[in-house]
């Protein structure tokens, strides 16, 4: 009797989860016709089919393929789950302010509204920016009534996925003034009241900065930390300690078990109490994916021990993932979710081989800690570019100092906060943590100043797949011979390098026009065959969104910025990072960097010839001539019916290759106008080649 060859231990739950996750995460690329994604999917299934044929595990191939296809379907279910009804014009809204409340120095605030009713029907949550007068104020818990226009949110925007909208179930954004709203009552939920009480106690007894850090450590909300301090932790590679994650859940469980052991409770009561506390902790943390994942795995492990069954780490990870994705399929795109699972999977797979190497040259305890740290760093590496554009080569040593410190500080802070909530009179003890976080920030600042940093590029699902396969092939879960492991891992490494080169190398220069419609940003990005670039927009942009888009698009230089008004000092400072040659402004004051574009007269700017068009005493828009194409972008200041009527008359005499008007697109193909109604307020790239125009989605 011959024994079938085996290459790996097949874990049905974990492998099915990976296929399910992969199916959701890559469905968007597949249905968009992404060539690289299609090749990768076909190639992986061919390789897996060969392995299955050699091992004879045909059932595993069917399971993986079935869950991959189900994952494709769940992607579309997720988009339906998160879609929000479109409300035209002015709408009457009643909603309550949550404790997701951020105040700014100018007195304005950004809040999340829930319990939303639009024109009497229940609706998704709203992200509201409220401009307050000096004598007015709103607070968490207030119930508001107002009439306003609601802007639908987009989870996929300029190549980015907005996890904030997904996690807070936000379907709309709105900008309000004090005069727009009326407070008609309100209340705080229990968890909101508790969080606000904690925040007030921290602010009363600690510096503002350290209070923000403590609140982030307890609940994962980093809005109270200023950008400079946040950048220290990011640059040092220890930002994860400020985001409630599996690390914090592990510390919390250790604290709970320590207390319950002292009380000498049996394991059934211990499991029940721990599970209840973990559920309450998830409520307080807003069911953050990393916290939910760690809590589910902990509960699964406790139940396995109670039932006498063997606990399998990978199957436990897979089961926790299944539960989360079945509830929220689009968490497959959430960086926090992916980072949490990648980190834990890397620890499970790499800990043993790294530990075996390290224990030969150092004590076991130190080798264990270093093996876990190395494994975790490898697991999170693909996602670091989401938070920073470089990786600090000394981050390992920063973690070596800060993580052990947090293993003491976090449980102590948690216990202290419980006692302070019960006995507010002892709140002065929090000054101890003020000193502790002064120290951790100083450590982070020191490591952030290191010059030993390597640039990172935003992660790609294809890169992540190959990295995971390399990790798996080198782990103890792969039972290939050492030679086969080496060959297989080498092939995957070559594929990873190849996909990285494709992802990193800038695309060839082509004549293109991209429509940019995102929150607080509307504009058109132009690229020429000679590599020149110009961006015309409505004098207001969401800088973080634009920065992320340019970074992911590998655009490092922006030659010309075209505006209808003078740019602010902040805008000039922002764009100068991209080596702007000139700001081209209608009616602006000429300076060494700002050129005045006269009406109906071309100004040459590199490959672009630009003029502002004035027709029938009205400024109707900007005309840009480049690469043999003539592009027209209607003025962003047009507002009345008569304005658009004049614009229509002007356009009837023209023959532009491309026309952009108030979020909608028209282009001319061999003299025939093509209206593209379904492209309204979306992000698309139009590539021109002679008389043809190819449309590609940016989102």
Is 588 a residue whose pLDDT tops 70?
no
Please say whether the dihedral angle defined by the alpha carbons of residues 586, 591, 593 and 595, taken in this order, is positive or negative.
Answer: positive
Lowest mean pLDDT among 161-165, 290-294, 505-509, 673-677: 673-677
Mean per-residue pLDDT, 246-265: 81
Report pLDDT digits (tens) over 444-458: 899 888 877 776 666
Residue 2: band (very low, low, confident or very high) from pLDDT cuts 50, 70, 90:
very low
In whole angstroms, give the CA distance from residue 112 to residue 97. 6
Please say whether the dihedral angle defined by the alpha carbons of residues 118, 122, 128 and 132, taken in this order, is positive or negative.
Answer: positive
CATH class as words, domain 90-188: mainly beta
Report pLDDT digits (tens) over 319-335: 999 999 999 999 999 88
Provide CATH 2.40.50 ranges for the chain.
90-188
**From residue 170, how far is each of 226, 409, 432 by CA, in Å?**
24, 34, 38
Residue 4: band (very low, low, confident or very high) from pLDDT cuts 50, 70, 90:
low
Report pLDDT digits (tens) over 189-245: 999 999 999 999 999 999 989 999 999 888 888 888 888 888 888 888 888 788 777
Mean per-residue pLDDT, 420-448: 90
**From residue 383, how far is each of 126, 371, 389, 509, 625 by CA, in Å?**
28, 20, 10, 28, 40
Give the pLDDT confidence score for residue 119 in this predicted structure. 94
In whole angstroms, give the CA distance from residue 173 to residue 165. 10
Please choose, from the candidates 78, 94, 60, the residue with its C-alpha nearest in 3D space to the C-alpha of residue 23. 78
In whole angstroms, give the CA distance from residue 58 to residue 89. 57
Instruction: Compare 61 and 75 and report the one with higher pLDDT.
Output: 75
Pair 372, 358: CB distance under 8 Å: no
Pair 178, 132: CB distance under 8 Å: yes
Write phi, then psi, for 105 (nearest 5 degrees). -60, -30
266-272 CB contacts, 8 Å cutoff, 24+ apart: 267/305, 267/306, 268/306, 271/302, 271/303, 271/306
21-34 b/e with 16+ CB inside 10 Å = b? bbbbbbbbbeeeeb
What mean pLDDT is reported for the chain? 84
Mean per-residue pLDDT, 279-295: 87
Write phi, then psi, for 634 (nearest 5 degrees). -65, 150
Report pLDDT digits (tens) over 48-63: 787 777 776 677 888 8
Instruction: Give every strand in the sheet of 608-615, ordered side by side.
Output: 603-605, 608-615, 618-626, 629-634, 658-661, 664-669, 672-676
Give the DSSP letter of residue 627. Answer: T
Pair 109, 151: CB distance under 8 Å: no
Residue range 511-697 in CATH 3.60.15: yes
Give the pLDDT confidence score for residue 667 in this predicted structure. 67
Give the pLDDT confidence score for residue 1 in this predicted structure. 42
Report pLDDT digits (tens) over 516-542: 887 778 888 998 888 889 999 888 888
Task: Kindly state the helix (H) or strand (E) to which residue 157 belongs, with its residue range.
Answer: strand 156-157
Residue 81: band (very low, low, confident or very high) from pLDDT cuts 50, 70, 90:
very high
Pair 634, 661: CB distance under 8 Å: yes
User: pTM here?
Assistant: 0.83
Q: Point out which residues pair with 562 in neighbouring strands.
A: 536, 584
Could you tell me if residue 107 is left (phi over 0), alpha (psi between -120 and 50 degrees) or otherwise beta?
Answer: left
In whole angstroms, give the CA distance from residue 661 to residue 437. 52
Continuous H helices in 505-630: 543-552, 569-576
Report pLDDT digits (tens) over 593-616: 787 777 788 888 888 899 888 888
Report pLDDT digits (tens) over 124-156: 999 999 988 777 788 999 999 999 999 888 888
Continuous H helices in 308-390: 313-327, 335-358, 364-380
To the nearest whole percent, how much of the chain has pLDDT over 70? 92
Provide CATH 3.60.15 ranges for the chain.
511-697
Is 680 a residue whose pLDDT tops 60?
no
**Helix, strand or coil for residue 8?**
strand
């Amino acid at each position: 009797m011959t024994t079938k060859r085996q290459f790996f231990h097949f874990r049905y739950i974990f492998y099915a989860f990976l296929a399910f996750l992969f199916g959701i995460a890559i469905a968007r690329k597949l249905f968009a016709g992404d060539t690289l994604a299609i090749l990768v999917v076909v190639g992986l299934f061919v390789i897996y089919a060969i392995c299955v044929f050699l091992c004879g595990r045909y059932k595993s191939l069917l399971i993986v393929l079935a869950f991959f296809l189900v994952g494709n379907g769940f992607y579309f279910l997720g988009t339906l789950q998160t879609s929000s009804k479109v409300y035209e014009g002015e709408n009457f809204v009643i909603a309550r302010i949550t404790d997701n409340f951020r105040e700014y120095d100018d007195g304005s605030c950004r809040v999340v509204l829930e319990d939303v009713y639009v024109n009497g029907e229940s609706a998704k949550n709203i992200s509201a920016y409220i401009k307050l007068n000096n004598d007015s104020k709103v607070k968490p818990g207030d119930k508001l009534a107002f009439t306003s226009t609601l802007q639908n949110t987009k989870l996929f925007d300029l190549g980015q996925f907005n996890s904030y909208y997904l996690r807070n179930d936000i379907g709309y954004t709105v900008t309000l003034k004090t005069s727009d709203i009326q407070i008609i009552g309100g209340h705080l939920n229990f968890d909101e009241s508790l969080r606000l009480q904690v925040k007030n106690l921290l602010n009363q007894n600690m510096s503002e900065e350290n209070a923000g850090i403590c609140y982030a450590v307890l609940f994962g909300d980093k809005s109270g930390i200023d950008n400079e301090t946040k950048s220290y932790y990011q640059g040092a590679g220890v930002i994860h300690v400020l985001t409630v994650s599996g690390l914090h859940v592990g510390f919390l469980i250790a604290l709970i078990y320590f207390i319950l052991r002292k009380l000498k409770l049996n394991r059934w009561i211990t499991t029940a109490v721990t599970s209840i506390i973990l559920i309450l902790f998830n409520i307080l943390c807003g069911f953050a994916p990393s916290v939910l994942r760690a809590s589910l795995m902990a509960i699964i492990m406790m139940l396995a021990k109670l039932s006498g069954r063997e606990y399998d780490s990978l199957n436990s990870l897979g089961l926790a993932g299944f539960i989360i994705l079945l509830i929220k399929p689009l968490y497959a795109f959430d960086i926090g979710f992916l980072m949490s699972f990648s980190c834990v999977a890397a620890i499970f797979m790499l800990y043993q081989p790294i530990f075996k190497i390290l224990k030969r040259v150092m004590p076991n305890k130190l080798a264990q800690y270093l093996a876990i740290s190395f494994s975790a760093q490898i697991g999170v590496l693909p996602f670091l570019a989401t938070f920073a554009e470089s990786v600090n080569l000394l981050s390992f040593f920063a973690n070596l100092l800060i993580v052990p410190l947090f293993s003491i500080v976090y449980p102590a802070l948690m216990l202290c906060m419980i006692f302070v909530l019960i006995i507010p009179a002892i709140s002065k003890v929090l000054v101890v943590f003020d000193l502790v976080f002064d120290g951790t920030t100083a450590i982070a600042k020191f490591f952030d100043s290191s010059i030993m940093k390597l640039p990172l590029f935003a992660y790609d699902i294809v890169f992540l797949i190959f990295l995971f396969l390399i990790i798996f092939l080198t782990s103890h879960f792969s039972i290939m011979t050492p030679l086969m492991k080496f060959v297989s891992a080498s092939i995957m490494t070559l594929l990873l390098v190849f996909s990285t080169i494709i992802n990193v190398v800038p695309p060839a220069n082509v004549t293109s026009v991209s429509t940019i419609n995102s929150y607080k940003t509307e504009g058109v990005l132009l690229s020429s065959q000679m590599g020149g670039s110009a961006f015309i927009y409505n004098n207001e942009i969401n800088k973080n969104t634009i920065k992320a888009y340019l970074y992911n698009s590998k655009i490092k230089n922006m030659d010309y910025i075209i505006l209808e008004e003078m740019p602010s000092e902040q805008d000039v400072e922002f764009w100068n990072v991209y080596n702007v040659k000139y700001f081209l402004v209608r009616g602006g004051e000429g300076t060494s960097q700002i050129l005045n574009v006269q009406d109906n007269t071309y100004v040459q700017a590199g490959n672009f010839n630009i003029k502002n068009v004035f027709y029938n005493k009205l400024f109707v828009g900007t005309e840009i001539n480049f690469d043999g194409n003539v592009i027209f972008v209607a003025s962003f200041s047009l507002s009345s019916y008569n304005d658009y009527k004049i614009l229509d008359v002007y356009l009837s005499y023209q023959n532009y290759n491309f026309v952009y008007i108030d979020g909608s697109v028209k282009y001319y193909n061999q003299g025939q106008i093509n209206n593209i109604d379904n492209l309204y307020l979306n992000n698309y790239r139009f590539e021109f080649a002679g008389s043809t125009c190819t449309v590609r989605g940016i989102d």
